[in-house]
A and B are shown apart, each in its own frame.
Chain A
Amino acid sequence: MNDIVSLSQVAKRYTRGKESVEVLHSLDLKIAQGDFVALMGPSGSGKTTLLNLIGGLDRPSDGDVTVAGERIDRLSGAALARWRARHVGFIFQFYNLMPMLSAQANVELPLLLTSLSAAQRRQNAQTALKIVGLDDRARHKPNELSGGQQQRVAIARALVADPTLLVCDEPTGDLDRKTADEVLGLLQTLNREHGKTIVMVTHDPKAAEYARRQLHMDKGTLVPGNTP
């Protein structure tokens, strides 16, 4: 299988005041197309930082980051934004939906950046909502939906532009077990039946079981024994 994510000797340092803290150290990672990877590890181990680098939300201090065939660490701000719109779907712990927009309008948001007509945008958003089983809630605003439903709207939003990669940061961290299992089952279906590559950060070992493989991080590096 082709590698869709390739990180080589990646380091990330943050400067807080006069202090510089390195949160990722010379990290190498490859993720194949169609993989479903769970990134696990204690708080502060660098999981979210790594996820942000893969998703093009942040840049490495050193090293190369190639995702979907593009050296994204070299892209300008605007080019990186366009790249994200084309290749990455994001799912957050707290859903991050626009509270004033309906589910349908939230799902349509990434499509505003495409050249699709209004009718096509509507159609695609309806299809994405159907995939997550919420086509009957299209007109509801986020505060009229349960946590699980909001997360499914967020998944539909992540899916709607047909991205190369889904990046999920603790997608079930705010959900009860039953709802979390439904959401994870949905992600698993997207991976197995629709071939979506998924990188998911989680603290939850049960959630990680839905992934094809688990990577463990500690103190800014991948733990070798758990890295296939």
Chain B
Amino acid sequence: MKYFPLLWATLWRKKARTIFTLLSIVVAFLLYGMLQGVNAAFHLSIDNANVNRLIVTSKISLTEPLPISQQQQIASVPGVSGVAFAVWFGGYYQEPKNFLFATPVNIDDYLHVVPEAKIAPEQVEALKRTRTGLIVGATQMTKYGWKVGQRISLHSTIWVNKYDGTSDWPFDIVGTYTFSGDESQEQGAYFNYNYLDEARTFGGGTVGWWIVSVKDPHQSAQIAARIDKLFENSPDETKSQSEKEFTQGFMKQMGDINFIVQAILGAVFFTLLFLTGNTMMQSVRERIPELAVLKTLGFTDAKVTVLVLAESLLLCLIAAAVGLGLADLLFPMLKNTIGVVRLPSRVILSGASVAVVLALATGGLPALRARRLVIVDALAGR
């Protein structure tokens, strides 16, 4: 700590240069925080995938419907503890940008296999009683300022209501749900399957996919194979996979987010490496006589090396702290898009590690130059 005032004063020796270098690194770490945050948010749903569940879809495609008659057959497979279904509704509120992941379900079956969804019992009963009932995720309730008892209309991009010939489906909000351990799951809504099935113009008696809970997660692979075997050579062959595999596959359909993020950040930090490295080299070159004086006063080669590295570390850590701090402040603005409220702490920790690596990489050469400096040559200007 006793060297801190010296380091601090050295860092601000050329104020304008230090400010511009700091700003470049701050922007890089802001970008790092935001992109890695988004990346982490996408992976959160994969990380949070339940190991006790399988997702069963049509072997042809996720969008291909399956007959509801399969439920009993899947339930009879040894090792299966529950079966629920879901259907892709493709709903939005007022404008396409207000996407709402509304899912027609049998609420009892669904809560049995997805117990993380928490709904007050009286609201579950209200949903069963109300054909047009809708249970909305807490995040969406807050976002739109909806209240229980309110009537809203959701537009479906797939289903036409045969009673009025439109794609607008009226709903009565009868409750809200939370999702333990993953706030991003609170962006959806559940409604009665029968409401959709009775009113839709096509696809009656079908579901989108099956959600199957298993008694022993170690048996998941065998159970998945048994389910697929059950429907082999039928018109509705299935593809069963763990919830994690399903989520990963779903994410990949949107593009390899991880690759895109790493590629962008790789380019940014590669450029930054040269920028900061050059600044540090220039700074040390200008201070050759001063470093020689430090050595003259009795600072060892090792101490001078550490001082130059510490200066680089100080610069990068300050910039990383500001950049990641800004990312932490701005990240909640993406809540409506990606559903994650706070920048994950692992992003901040990995950002700090990147700052240390950047500091060592950019400070390494200048520190070596300072270490090798010969006092009499440096003082004589050679």
Using a CB–CB cutoff of 8 Å, the interface residues on chain A facing chain B are 52, 55, 57-58, 77-78, 81-86, 90, 92, 96, 98-101, 105, 109-110, 112-113, 118, 121, 157
Contact = CB atoms under 8 A, between A and B. Distances in A.
Interface stretch (B2-10, B56-64, B91-99, B359-367): B2-10
Given A57-B375, A112-B3, A100 B298 contact: no
B289 to A, nearest CB: 6
Nearest to B295: A81
Given A57-B376, A58-B376, A105-B5, A110 B298 contact: yes
Interface stretch (B115-123, B147-155, B229-237, B299-307): B299-307
Contacts of A84: 296-298
A109 B13 contact: no
17 contacts: A52-B376, A57-B376, A78-B301, A78-B302, A81-B295, A82-B298, A83-B298, A84-B297, A85-B299, A86-B298, A92-B379, A98-B290, A99-B290, A100-B13, A101-B9, A112-B3, A118-B2
A101 B296 CA distance: 17
Contacts of B107: none
Interface of B: 2-3, 5-6, 9-10, 12-13, 289-290, 293-302, 375-376, 379
Contacts of B293: 92, 96, 98
A98 B12 CA distance: 13
Contacts of B379: 57, 92, 96
A138 to B, nearest CB: 14
A90 B297 CA distance: 7
Contacts of B10: 100
Nearest to B9: A100
B272 to A, nearest CB: 25
Name which of B12, B297, B299, B375 has the most chain A CB atoms within 10 A of its CB: B297
A110 B295 CA distance: 10
A101 B289 CA distance: 15
B298 A81 contact: yes
A109 B297 contact: yes
Nearest to A141: B9
Name which of B10, B289, B296, B299 has the most chain A CB atoms within 10 A of its CB: B296
B297 A110 contact: yes
A96 B379 CA distance: 9
Contacts of B299: 81, 85, 113
Contacts of A55: 296
Contacts of B290: 96, 98-99
Contact of A99 (B13, B375, B376): B13
B13 A113 contact: no
Contacts of A100: 9-10, 12-13
A219 to B, nearest CB: 19
Nearest to B382: A16
Given A84-B298, A101-B6, 4 more contacts: A57-B375, A77-B300, A78-B302, A90-B297
Nearest to B292: A96
B17 to A, nearest CB: 13
Contacts of B9: 98, 100-101, 105
A96 B294 contact: no
A80 to B, nearest CB: 9
Contact of B296 (A57, A77, A78, A99): A57
A156 to B, nearest CB: 13
B305 to A, nearest CB: 12
Contact of A77 (B2, B5, B289, B301): B301
Contacts of B3: 112
A7 to B, nearest CB: 17
Contacts of B295: 81
B183 to A, nearest CB: 48
Contacts of A86: 298
A30 to B, nearest CB: 23
Nearest to B5: A105
Contacts of B289: 96
A140 B120 CA distance: 71
A85 B297 contact: yes
A90 B376 contact: no
Contacts of A58: 375-376
Name which of A82, A101, A105 has the most chain B CB atoms within 10 A of its CB: A101
A95 to B, nearest CB: 10
Given A96-B289, A96-B293, A100-B13, A78 B376 contact: no
Nearest to B296: A90
